Structure 1
Amino acid sequence: MNVHIVLAHPSPTSLCASLCDEAVAFLTANGHEVTVSDLYAMKWKAVADYDDLGSHTDGTYIDASGEAYRDGGLSEDIRTEQARIEAADAVVLLFPLWWFSMPAIMKGWVDRVLVNGLGYGTTRGWKRYGDGAYAGKRGMVITAAGGSETVLSERGVSGSITDILWPINHGILYYTGMDVLEPHVVTSAVTVDSDRYQNLVAELRERLEGLETDEPIAYRSQAGGDYDERRRLKPGRERPGTSGFDLHIA
């Protein structure tokens, strides 16, 4: 399969960068094609503005203001990233967990690359949440967090890592149609010695072995019949004892 990794860490000697190198080596050795967008090394522009969209003339896509533009009006760096996603069977977002989210440079990648008409579609009848333009592709988060496993648990002071990553897994990857795998989370990432690093590499390889075959998170599709005309979950569709984000997992 073709795998596109988007990496966001300012240091080329960081744990995230090392895990990216390990992932590329493992996937390549197992016959996969891999591309990498190292956002800091690319000096990726993180702010979306009208320079990205050209002159907005004679367009096919619609931006948030209702103005139309063509794919050809997008800046070259955006078109390059879109082509990499189009060619990929799986997209991996690899980043350190900063302030309960991805680094700003990666959020800027999301804002600029996953534009209306490609990442999702108001022009196609608001097709999203399992039915976006990237349906059929796989998506996965790999993140390194300073907090311990207990801190990032349901009763931990920081809350469940599953809830923390919900906006990315459900609100970005699944929104655009991807089948989203359980995230691979490295906890206590500030205390990694050589012995633990080897264990982390083994765990990463195990997860990557299932990149093509592991069952995705069973998010409910917007068009699957579980939601009413106002996009609210229909009564009786929830699993017993569930609430919050878990209501939207079948």
Structure 2
Amino acid sequence: MKETDHGGKILVVSAHPEPRSLNAALTAFAVDHLRAAGHEVRVSDLYAMKWKATVDADDFPDADAFSDTDDVPDLGADRRLHVMDASEEATLSGRLSPDIAAEQDKLRWSDAVILQFPMWWFSAPAILKGWIDRVFTSGFAYGPKLPPPYGPDAPLSGRRALLSVTYGAHERSFSDQGIHGRIEDVLHPLQHGLFRFTGMAPLRPFTVPEANALPAQRFAEAREAYGRRLDTLFTSEPVPFEAPGRG
């Protein structure tokens, strides 16, 4: 793990369109709590930034990694974008879109990453998925020219990663016997496919159930519980790998 004896460097990525939302309140609380504890904090508020969620050729200005499409006669001499190749070429040559490069710099700077979002349709909001799609490029977070994934030398190894998630259902709905299954399984694509794959150490997620209408008392309790989790950001054990449905 990266040295954090004198305070860590933490990137908080927030994804909710309403600045008065529970997610915005949790983001503000986390920032204040962490800074009060001596940590450095940077925030990427994706909606406030008007983050572009879709990958396209504009992400890779002047990239050379396009292939001929002679096998598709209707396209004639046009070129076809290969996203992985183009992103790798643009990343390694320093020609990524500036907004992507800025977020990658924040990740390089960080010792820990917190993703704050509401669960929508059993996943993260599209704007957060788009941040992942665009920022975790080949040549930066994975790729044949980088160390292999999962191991101690993976591109983003040494960083801790925490999901802070709100959802409207009752907590028992996301359990072994619940209608939605275990929350660990629902979040597996992020915990394993994003964090562990790129070398980050995923921590046990922090969740706030029944979040659509949270009374003041329950918000105070959630905030207190979140503070305790944030206090152990650099000391709690990462969750071990577990394939979905095997708990």
Query: TM-score if structure 1 supplies the norm length?
Result: 0.84
Give the secondary-structure state (helix, strand or coil) at the position aligned to 1:37: strand
Question: What corresponds to 2:75 in structure 1?
Answer: none
> CA 1:90–1:57 in 2, change beyond 3 Å: closer, same or farther?
same
Is 1:99 the equivalent of 2:121? yes
**Are residues 1:29 and 2:36 paired?**
yes
Residue 173 of structure 2 corresponds to residue 151 of structure 1 = yes
Give the AA of the match of 2:16. H
Among residues 141, 146, 150, which one is paired with 1:119 in the alignment?
A: 141
1:238 is matched with none
Moved over 4 A (4+): none
- Cα separation, 2, equivalents of 1:140 and 1:166: 13
What root-mean-square deviation, in Å, do the aligned CA atoms of Structure 1 and Structure 2 show? 2.1
* 8 Å CA contact retained: 1:130, 1:178: no
The 5 A counterparts of 1:235-250 are: 244-245=243-244
Written as runs of structure 1 = structure 2, the 5 A alignment for 1:201-240 is 201-219=223-241
- Give the drift of 1:65: 5.1
Question: Percent identity of the aligned residues?
Answer: 40
Residues 117/65 of structure 1: CA separation in 2 closer, same or farther (3 Å cut):
closer
CA shift digits 1:36-62 (9 cap, x unpaired): 00000000000011110111149xxxx
User: Within 1, Cα distance between the matches of 2:172 and 2:106?
Assistant: 37
Secondary structure at 2:244 match in 1: helix
SS of equivalent to 1:124:
coil
Q: For residues 1-250 of structure 1, what are the structure 2 equivalents within 5 Å?
A: 1-57=8-64, 64=83, 66-67=85-86, 69-71=89-91, 72-124=94-146, 127-131=148-152, 132-219=154-241, 244-245=243-244
The answer to whether the 8 A contact 1:121-1:133 is kept is no
Q: Distance in 1 between matches of 2:89 and 2:139?
A: 10
Deviation string 1:207-250 (CA, Å, 9 cap, x unpaired) is 00000110001228xxxxxxxxxxxxxxxxxxxxxxx4366x9x
Cα distance in 2 for partners of 1:43, 1:56 equals 24
* Secondary structure, aligned partner of 1:56: coil
The Cα of 1:129 is off from its aligned counterpart by 2.3
Aligned counterparts of 1:245 and 1:39: Cα–Cα separation in 2: 29
Match of 1:10, as an amino acid? P
**Is the contact between residue 89 and residue 139 of structure 2 (CA under 8 Å) also seen in structure 1?**
no
Unaligned 5+ runs, structure 1: 221-243
1:130 and 1:179 in contact (8 A); partners too: no
Task: Please give the secondary structure, in 2, of the residue aligned with 1:5.
Answer: strand
CA shift in 2, pair 1:25/1:65, >3 Å? closer
Q: Is the 8 A contact 1:144 1:187 kept in 2?
A: yes
Higher normalized helix content (fraction of residues):
2
Q: Compute the displacement of 1:2 (Å).
A: 0.3
What secondary structure does 1:94 align onto?
strand
Structure ranking higher on relative contact order (CA contacts 8 Å, 6+ apart):
2
SS at match of 2:165: strand
Which amino acid is the alignment partner of residue 176 of structure 1?
T
- Stretch of structure 1 that moved more, 98-107 or 145-154: 145-154
Q: TM-score, normalised by structure 2?
A: 0.85
